[in-house]
Structure 1
Amino acid sequence: MNWFLKKKKEHVLFTLPLPEPTDLLDRLREKFPDIDFEYIHFGTLETFRNPETIPRDTIAGKTVLVTAGALPASPADCPDLELIHFISAGINHVQKHPIYTNSDIPLATVSGIHGPPIAEWVLMTTLLRNREYEKFYEAQKEHRWLKYPVKGARDMVQQRIGILGYGSIGRQVANVSRAMGMEVLAYTASPKTTPESRKDHGFVVPGTGDPDGSIPSQWFSGTDKADLHNFLSQDLDILLISVPLTPQTHHLISKAEFEVLEKRRTFISNIARGPVIDQPALVEALTNGDIRGAALDVTDPEPLPADDPLWDAPNVTITPHVSAQNAQTLERVFQVIEANLERKQKGEKLINIVDRKRGY
């Protein structure tokens, strides 16, 4: 037996729906001279919703695939693949694909990179509602000096924000909320009863988030309605929805939940996925004034049809799934990939690996 067999050479294939980022790839090539990198401008932005198929001869011999959602047709088409790295934080768009359901190829995400821009979006849209800014915006367009104060204007100090899904995004929202003088309450599916369990073990943009889980004044957990309603009944001024979309979270917030939130007229902010909220129930809650308003970067469906009643619901801000986008996004995507390639070479545990049973 030859005890000096060389380790199989790594071949990394990028199939992304954007032009090749030469500077970022060159940085990887310089750091990992023993890895072969190949880049293909593949698919369109629709790949995030409707994944395309990577031909068998294209994926042949590749050990790592970096993708927006495009995948080989089946596990049999990619026998050498040892890691699939998605450039999104969520992968609900591929959860019915054979690669997801019928293989054990590790799947990684770039969870952790979106905290800073999304937290700024959450803060921005919440402040717009708190300060009733839309009234001043309309008055400015009409060259009209609006009388002040507006009765409903309020600041953030001592308001309570409940963060439903305390992942990397929720942690950065907690960070900026605390800086604004707010009290943070966290909700997770599984209990976080020890300091170790409250730590963030994924990718963290330096200087952001809540790495050790020390910000929330209270932690809640559970997977049934009673647990959720207990959390929602904690006099929340703002509810941030930041859970992944899974069969368990589909329509997690519906009519019964809005009835709980009605007592405080809680403001809703959804940066997760549209179907986490029962949208007709949301429109009804907004129309009836049961909640103070809503900021939605996600809807059901997307794009939101022009005749959908959500557009005309009162006190709602809608943006087209853009809260995570900024000039640093792609660079941070590559930082996570770089970190995992380094860990893979050293035989260390990879970060942001998807638990297929949980869906994230």
Structure 2
Amino acid sequence: MGGGPAKEVLLIILPLPRPDALISRLQSHHPNLEIRFSQPPDSSSSSPTSPTDLYKDVTVLVTFSSLPPPSSAPLLDLLQLFSAGSNHISDTPLYRDTDITIATASGIHGPQIAEWAIMTSLVHSHKYKALYELQKAHRWGKKPAGEDPGEGENFRDVRDMVGARLGVLGYGSIGRQVARVGSAMGMEVVAFTAGRRDTEESKRDKGWVVPGTGDVEGRVPGEWWSGLDKGSLRRFLARDLDVLLVSVPLTEDTRGFLGKEEFEVLAKGSGEGRGGRKPFVVNIARGPIINQEELVEKLKDGTLGGAALDVTDPEPLPEDSELWDLKNVIVTPHVSGVGQAYTERAFELLDEQLRRREKGEKLLNVVQRKRGY
């Protein structure tokens, strides 16, 4: 004589020690939810599977990529990823062969990644690599060219960011926070999106946002451009951009989106012609969005002023890659979004998702499989 709704079971699989305080807070907000916690077999976010009996009565799964075969999770109806994207699971049966709702953690990474993007841009524009070499050599840095590790850098020609033009290729949660910070520094922002954003409503950020960050209303950009074809992309790149932030998801449309021709358009349209900078490319998205071989070519021949790459193709970046040794390149090992606040913000997003689910409201960050994100 049952009666009442079926028990909801939330399974959290993460490569970290059980976050007791966060789980307790989540439980207090959702007392009718049974919460379980497990680690991947190898405690790595790249683990593709876990023992299948974990999933038999699970209705909500939270993970980076530890996924069951669909047959092992007959009650599952929500997969909440703790990653910003879903391309890393796009070839799995759960993604391809089911209609289980999949949502991402888009929105939690903005502050951390924006700081990385601005930091690396300033490291480049302020010639900090040369300054650091001088510090290591215990030199004040006022020697003629060739007499110190700074190679006689002229630090008087450093330009600040006031009036520089920031092109944001992909105006999602991360792009909006970079735009916010850049705008506060006096930069002019030009946004590029897949679809048109020609109304106030279409410019709004409808995802989860860390309070006090981002550009919820879409008011920061002075220009909006859109499209998924190379013609639209090149028209955007020709808009006198000094810094190009790559923050689009990796899809079939964006794979190889930026190559030699695009970098040449970017350089021709950059502020160099008005006494400004050669364009600086910042990639915090995914490595395959850029044709890496052609990027290296344009970094070496002076078409581009430099690049900051937190993602590469492939990853890890091979030890013999030329990128490691180019003076105008900053390479980091896909860590721009990693920080102490990551897990707490992800749980805040999860809390909101569960609240919406219980109320029958629209969930945040739901992946549209045909679109790819």
TM-score range, shorter chain: over 0.9
Summarize deviations over 1:91-134 as a string: whole Å, max 9, x none.
Answer: 11100111111100000111001000111001100011111111
**1:116-135 paired onto structure 2 within 5 Å:** 116-135=111-130
Q: 1:41 Cα shift?
A: 1.4
Q: Are 1:280 and 2:293 matched, yes or no?
A: yes
Q: How big is the alpha-carbon RMSD for the aligned residues of Structure 1 and Structure 2?
A: 1.4
Shift of 1:223: 1.1
- 1:186-265 map, 5 Å: 186-263=191-268, 264=270, 265=278
| Alpha-carbon distance between aligned partners in 2 of 1:65 and 1:143, rounded to the nearest angstrom | 54
- Structure 2 distance, partners of 1:209, 1:349, is 21
| 1:350 corresponding residue in structure 2 | 363
Aligned residue number for residue 94 of structure 2: 99
2:367 maps to amino acid: V
CA contact (8 A) 2:41 2:50 kept: no
C-alpha separation between the residues in 1 aligned to 2:3 and 2:315? Answer: 51
- Which residue of the partner structure matches residue 60 of structure 1? 56
Q: Does the C-alpha gap of structure 1 residues 211 and 294 become closer, same or farther in structure 2, counting only changes over 3 Å?
A: same
Shift of 1:151: 4.9
The TM-score, its normalising length taken from structure 1, stands at 0.96
What are the ranges of 5 or more consecutive residues in structure 1 without an aligned counterpart?
Answer: none
Counterpart-to-counterpart distance in 1, 2:90 and 2:65: 10
1:156 lines up with 2:161 in the alignment: yes
Pick from 303, 313, 333: which aligns with 2:346?
333
- Partner letter of residue 192 of structure 1? R
The match for 2:21 is 23
| 1:108 and 2:106 are equivalent in the alignment | no
Counterpart CA distance in 2 for 1:298 and 1:153 is 27
Give the Cα separation in 2 of the matches to 1:231 and 1:341: 39
1:42 and 1:128, CA in 2 relative to 1: closer, same or farther beyond 3 A? same
Structure 2: unaligned runs, 5 residues or longer: 143-152, 271-277
1:38 is aligned to 36
CA contact (8 A) 1:84 1:106 kept: yes
Partners in 2 of 1:15 and 1:271 — Cα distance? 25
CA shift at 1:52, angstroms? Answer: 1.7
How far does residue 30 in structure 1 lie from its aligned partner after superposition? 1.4
Q: Distance in 2 between matches of 1:146 and 1:45?
A: 47
The DSSP-based 3-state class of the residue aligned with 2:353 is helix
| Aligned residues of 1:172 and 1:210 also touching (Cα < 8 A) | yes
For 1:304-343, list aligned pairs within 5 A: 304-343=317-356
CA displacement at 1:299 relative to structure 2:
0.7
Is contact 2:40–2:49 with CA below 8 Å preserved after alignment? no
CA distance in 1, matches of 2:227, 2:361: 31
CA contact (8 A) 1:270 1:296 kept: yes
C-alpha deviations, 1:150-209, integer Å up to 9, x for none?
Answer: 254110000000000000000000100010000000000100110000000000000000
Q: Does 1:139 align with 2:134?
A: yes
AA aligned opposite 1:202: G
Using the TM superposition, give the Cα deviation of residue 251 of structure 1 relative to its aligned residue in structure 2, in angstroms. 1.1
CA distance in 2, matches of 1:149, 1:118: 30
In 2, distance between residues paired with 1:97 and 1:170?
Answer: 28
Counterpart Cα distance in 1 of 2:41 and 2:89: 15
- Residue identity over aligned pairs, in percent, reads 51
Q: Which residue of 1 aligns with 2:273?
A: none
Of the structure 1 ranges 142-151 and 14-23, higher mean CA displacement relative to structure 2 is found in 142-151
Q: CA 1:17 to 1:292, structure 2 compared with 1: closer, same or farther past 3 Å?
A: same
Q: For residues 63-108 of structure 1, what are the alpha-carbon distances to aligned partners after superposition, in whole Å with 9 as ceiling and x for unaligned?
A: 00001101012x2221100100110001111001111111000001
Bigger shift: residues 13-22 or 153-162:
13-22
Q: CA deviation digits over 1:202-259, x for unaligned, max 9?
A: 0000000000101100000011111000000001000000001111111111111111
Q: Distance in 2 between matches of 1:224 and 1:337?
A: 35
**Alignment correspondent of 2:145:** none
What is the match of residue 84 of structure 1?
A: 79
Q: CA deviation at 1:149?
A: 4.8
Matched, 1:165 2:155: no
The structural deviation recorded for 1:56 is: 2.6
- Structure 1: how far apart are the matches of 2:42 and 2:240? 44
Stretch moving more, 329-338 or 14-23: 14-23
Partner SS state of residue 256, structure 1: helix
